[in-house]
Amino acid sequence: MDRFFRAFFIVISVVSVISCGKLNDDSIVYVFKGDVVSVSDFKLKYNLWLRQNNMSDSEEMRKNYLFRELSEKFLYEMGKSEGVEDIPEIRNKIDDFKRKTIVEYMSRRTKHEVYAIDDEAVRQYYIENKDRFLREKLYRLYAVRVSNKKKADDIAQQLRNGANIRILSASLSDDEILARNNGDWGLYSPDVMGESWKDDVLASFPGEILGPYLDSENFYTIIEIAGFAYKRHLTFNLAYPLIVEELIAKYGTEKWDEYRDRMMTEYGAKINVENLWWK
C-alpha cells in the first residue's frame, strides 16, 4: 500500500508541476530525470499513436497520453530501484525474450551462411521473377544514418527545426552509399521495412521526421517520407533478402540437416530417436 501511495504522489506531483505553470518554456512538454521532451517530439509521437490506434484527437486525449507516458516512466524507474527484474517470474520473462531474439537472429544468419547463395544466383532469380516484386504502393524514404546516438539526436532536432534532410545526409551520414545518394534511401514496401521503424512509417505523412531508430545494421537512422510511388518494382538491393529466403526454401533441408548434425556433435548433444515412439 505504501508503494501505491508513493507512486500516486509522484504522478500527482508531476501533474501539479505542469498544471501550475512551473515549467515555463513553451517549447517543452515535460522534463523527466533529465530527459527533455519538446512539443514537436511529443506531438509527433502522439499523432503516430493516434493513427496506429484509429483514435481521434482531443484535449482530453492529449492529457491522457501525456500522463500515460509519464506513468510508464516512473513505474519503470520504481521497478528498477526496487529490483523487480530480479523477481524470478520477471527474470524468466526477460530471459525467454532474450533467448527467442537471439535464436531468431542466429537462425537467419546461419541459414544464409550454410546455403552460401551467391549474388549471381540472386540476381538471376530477380531477373527471371521480377513481377514477384511488383508492389501496389511504395514509400519514397530519405534518411540520415550515423553510428552515434547523440549525433543522431542532434541531427533529428535540426531536421525538426527545418533543416534539409538531403543536405544533412550528404554531409553527415556514416552510410557512404546513402551519403553519395544525397539521403535518398529508395522505394520501400512494408515487407522490406525494418521492424524497428515500419509501424511509424506506415502511420506517418510526408514531411514528418521519424527516429532515430537503431536499425539492423547498427546505424541510428532518421527517416523522412518524401512521397509515394504506385505499381513499381522493388529494386534488386531491397528485394535481395526476400530472394535469399525464397531460394533457401527451394533448396530443401539437406544442407541444414548436415549442419545441424555437425553442431550436435560439436556441442556434445546425445539423442535417442527411438524413444520418440511412445504409445
pTM reported for the whole predicted model: 0.78
Task: Report d(CA 99, CA 117) in Å as an integer.
Answer: 27
Q: Is the dihedral of CA 103, 107, 108, 109 positive or negative?
A: positive
Q: Which of 19, 35, 93 is nearest to 69 (CA)?
A: 35
- Angle in degrees, 0-180, between the axes of helices 2-19 and 59-81, rounded to the nearest 10: 140
The per-residue pLDDT for range 219-251, each reduced to its tens digit, is 999 999 999 999 999 999 999 999 999 999 888
Q: Is the pLDDT of residue 216 over 70?
A: yes
The per-residue pLDDT for range 181-204, each reduced to its tens digit, is 999 999 999 999 999 999 999 999
Report, as an integer, the average pLDDT of 47-63: 94
**CB-count exposure of residue 234 (10 Å: 0-12, 13-18, 19+):** buried
User: Residue-wise over 171-183: b if at least 16 C-beta within 10 A, else e?
Assistant: ebbebeebbebbb
Q: What residue type is assigned to position 103 of the chain?
A: V
**DSSP 8-state secondary structure symbol assigned to residue 253:** S
The per-residue pLDDT for range 5-46, each reduced to its tens digit, is 455 455 555 455 444 445 667 889 999 988 889 998 899 999
Question: Which residues lie below 8 Å from residue 70, measured CB to CB, with a gap of 6+?
Answer: 11, 14, 30, 32
